[in-house]
Amino acid sequence: MPDEQSDQTEQPIITEMVGHTLVIRINRPDKYNAFTQAMYASTAQALRASGDDPAVRSIVITGTGKAFSAGNDLNDFDLAADGDTPVQHFLRAIADVRVPVVAAVNGLAVGVGVTMLLHCELVYAAPEATFQVPFVDVGLVPEAASSLLLPQLIGARRASELFLTGRKLGADDALSWGLVNEVTPDAFDRALEVAQVIAAKAPTAVRSTKSLLRSSTTDVVERMQEEELLLVAQLESTEFTEVMTARREKRSPQF
């Protein structure tokens, strides 16, 4: 696929627009796509910019070569108590991004290569993909709110096994455990296909639905109230008008 940047093979983070989908490709295959501070900064910038760009309606993240990402490059890694480092900017950006994010895990995923998936709406994996969060093996602890999100997604016992033993999980087990949506040889093509399906839908409705799915409200009545506020806004929106008009005219809605 053509890229908007020059000399894309030299860029550790490649971005391009495919229709209304922003594709972010981690491109440091000689280091198994391990993230440097500069790579975190570039990715955070792309994610932040997507929130202000109405042309971006979905995002796909994937890797180049045999790895999705081997995690942090420990030779170029830093955190700060005030949260003002590139890795922390990236983690907050992927947690806050307003449009749905779809991951295509093309191979090895370690550390942040796994924990970032917890902030994606959908994950597609190649059969050779593996997943590992061996933080304690290098004397560290989980990050990216993964100590909260992973147990919620796959259960406390399984999350404890992955975090405390450093077990490497294969693609089929990741599927059965609920870490990924589908295992397919064409993980990127499938991820892009689904992302473009999402991008064709009413953009404000999609963003609002994502915000509801990510809401921390657990009280049923309070959650109903959140939904109702957004539902009222959508009933009064040009998006809903276009859907109803398209149905009467027996055509697909255009947004």
The mean pLDDT value for 138-166 works out to 97
Q: Is a pLDDT exceeding 80 seen at residue 163?
A: yes
Residue 82 main-chain phi, psi, to 5 deg: -85, 0
Per-domain boundaries in the chain: 8-199, 203-248
Would you say the C-alpha torsion 89, 163, 109, 28 has a positive or negative sign? positive
- Res. 8 pLDDT band, cuts 50 70 90: low
Task: Give the pLDDT confidence of 198-234 residue by residue, as tens digits.
Answer: 999 999 999 999 999 999 999 999 999 999 999 999 9
The mean pLDDT value for 40-62 works out to 96
* The predicted structure's pLDDT at residue 1: 37
Q: Is a pLDDT exceeding 80 seen at residue 103?
A: yes
CA proximity to 149, closest of 134, 139, 159: 159
Statement: the pTM of the whole predicted model exceeds 0.85: yes
- Res. 7 pLDDT band, cuts 50 70 90: low
The topology under which CATH files domain 8-199 is 2-enoyl-CoA Hydratase; Chain A, domain 1 (3.90.226)
The mean pLDDT value for 118-136 works out to 98
* The predicted structure's pLDDT at residue 78: 76
